[in-house]
Structure 1
Amino acid sequence: MITKTIKCFDIAQICDSGQCFRMLKKDAQTYSVIAGDRHLEVAQKGDQCIFYCEEDEFESFWKGYFDLDTDYIKYRESIDQQDKYLKEASEFGSGIRILNQDLWEMIVSFLISQQNNIIRIRRCIDNICEKYGEERKDANGHIYYTFPTPKSMACLPEDALKECNLGYRSKYVVRTAKSVADGEIDLDEIRHMSYGQAKEELMKLYGVGEKVADCICLFSLHHFEAFPVDTHIRQALDGYYPEGFPMDRYKGCEGVMQQYIFYYELMGKKIG
């Protein structure tokens, strides 16, 4: 068990920010997180956070996963004082951080996310993990499932994942799993590419368009230049930035600003 005082960190906001689908609220202060083959519980009250893991696991994995070495205060301080909308969005979502998640998991997650809502995405991912992942037990004996590997899904018929409620997205995931398992797409190479190169390579995958590629780049590769545009972001851009979002001003943290806007729009806290 590790106790930390952390500014600009809110596990509840991160859970609802649309970037992670294996994070769930257990009670008023405690959240459960599964990342790859790891499981963690996090309790928070104010700036006080308790991570239920050993010190070495926290230092070697979870600190990086939650991006705790990055100063998010400087991102908020960089916001144009005249931009009332973005200032309020950043204040509303001040505890959001961009997670460092597994590339393969994010590819599948955002293939599933198309024309879908967060609750359904979580259910779909739970289904495929229970069916094709490996069963594990946490320190308290509770069962959880690892995220399935490309190899575990590459041999499936294209419609097999319809049983997991993926619908037409089943063929996207199965074909992509085959591309990765067969070596047509090298995930290790993508991890070392620039934002532009990674986005281009990801868009070679079946079912991956520009928005999905940007989500993958932002939430797994930590390319903060990525600025995914979905219906929530488009609504904000049309309403508050008719001449376009000022990307140049926020160079290097565009994706952080995107998350503030997305969360603000998602939670319905728009300025009247």
Structure 2
Amino acid sequence: MIRRTIEHFSLEQICVSGQCFRMEQKGEHTYSVIAKDKYLEAAQCGGETIFYCEEEEFESFWKNYFDLDTDYHAYLECIDPRDNYLIKAAEAGSGIRILRQDLWEMIVSFLISQQNNIVRIRRCIQNLCEEYGEEKEVEGGKRYYAFPGPEALAGLHEEALKACNLGYRSKYVVRAARAVVSGEIQLREIETLSYPEAKAELLKIFGVGEKVADCICLFALHHTEAFPVDTHINQALKNHYKRGFPKRRYRGFQGIMQQYIFYYELHMGK
């Protein structure tokens, strides 16, 4: 068990921020998260967060996953004091951090996310993991499923994942798995590339468009200059940034501002 007091870190806000789909609320202050083949429960009350794991696992995996070494206060301090909308959005979502998630998991997750809502995306991914992921068990007998690797999906018929409620996205995921297994798509190489280079490689994957590529760059590769534009962001741009979002002012961390806007539009901007 690890206890930490962390500024600008909210499990509740991260859980519903639209960047991860295997995190869920278990109790009033308790959340669970599955990442790759790991399982964590964490609780937050007041300013303290309790991570129910060994220190070695926290230091080697979860601290990096939650981006806990980054000073998010510095990003908040950079917001234009004249931009009342962004100030409100950042205040509302100031506990959000950009998670450092697995590249393959994010490719699949955001292929599934197209023309979909968060509740349904979660269900699709749960179905996929239960059907093709490896069953694991943690101390205390809790069972969960690891995210299936590309090898587990590459041999499937292109329509097979319709049984997991993926619909037309089934062929996207299966073809992506085949591309990784064949070596056509090199995940480890993509992880070393700059944002423009990584995005260009991701756009080669069948079914990946601009928004999905930017989501993968932001939430898997931690290219915080990526600025995914979906219907929520489009609405905010139309209403508050007639000349476009001032990306030059936030060069290098536009994606963090995007998350504040997305969260605000999704949960509070109605």
Kindly indicate whether residue 129 of structure 2 is the aligned counterpart of residue 158 of structure 1: no
> 2:10 is matched with which residue?
10
TM superposition outliers: structure 1 runs of 4+ over 6 Å: none
- Within a 5 Å distance, the mapping from 1:1-272 to structure 2 comes to 1-269=1-269
How far apart, CA to CA, are the structure 2 residues paired with 1:38 and 1:260? 27
Q: Distance between the aligned counterparts of 1:9 and 1:225, measured in 2?
A: 21
Considering only aligned residues, what root-mean-square deviation do their CA atoms show, in Å? 0.6
What is the SS of the residue equivalent to 2:242? Answer: coil
Q: Tell me the secondary structure at the aligned position of residue 221 of structure 1.
A: coil
What is the one-letter code of the residue matched to 1:224? T
Counterpart-to-counterpart distance in 2, 1:220 and 1:139 = 28
Q: How many angstroms does 1:46 deviate by?
A: 2.1
Whole-Å separation in 2 of the counterparts to 1:230 and 1:30? 30
SS at match of 1:50: strand
Task: Tell me which amino acid in the other structure corresponds to 1:238.
Answer: K
Instruction: Please state how far the C-alpha of 1:252 moved relative to its aligned partner.
Output: 1.1
* Secondary structure of the structure 1 residue equivalent to 2:269: coil
Q: Deviations over 1:186-244 (max 9, x none)?
A: 00000000000000000000000000000000000000110000000000000000100
Q: Which amino acid aligns with 1:232?
A: H
C-alpha separation in 1, matches of 2:91 and 2:46: 15
Q: Separation in 2 of the partners of 1:46 and 1:106?
A: 31
In structure 2, give the amino acid aligned to 1:93: G
Separation in structure 2 between the aligned mates of residue 140 and residue 47 of structure 1, nearest angstrom: 27
- Distance (whole Å) between structure 1 residues aligned to residue 211 and residue 32 of structure 2: 28
Instruction: Tell me which amino acid in the other structure corresponds to 1:207.
Output: G
Aligned-residue offset at 1:267: 0.3
User: Post-superposition shift, 1:97?
Assistant: 0.1
> 2:105, 2:208 → 1: CA distance?
14
- Letter paired with 2:139: A
Give unmatched runs, 5+ long, in structure 1.
Answer: none
Q: Structure 2, unaligned stretches of length 5 or more?
A: none
Q: What's the CA shift for 1:269?
A: 3.1
User: TM-score, normalization: structure 1?
Assistant: 0.99
| CA positional deviation for 1:71 | 0.2
CA–CA distance in structure 2, aligned partners of residues 257 and 134 of structure 1: 36
Letter aligned with residue 155 of structure 1: G
Over residues 21-50 of structure 1, what are the superposed CA-to-partner deviations in whole Å (9 max), with x where a residue is unaligned? 000000110000000000000100122000
Deviations 1:73-94 (A, max 9, x none): 0000000000000000000001
CA distance in 2, matches of 1:223, 1:149: 23
Number of residue pairs matched by the alignment: 270
What SS does the aligned partner of 2:60 have?
helix
TM-score, normalising length: structure 2: 0.99
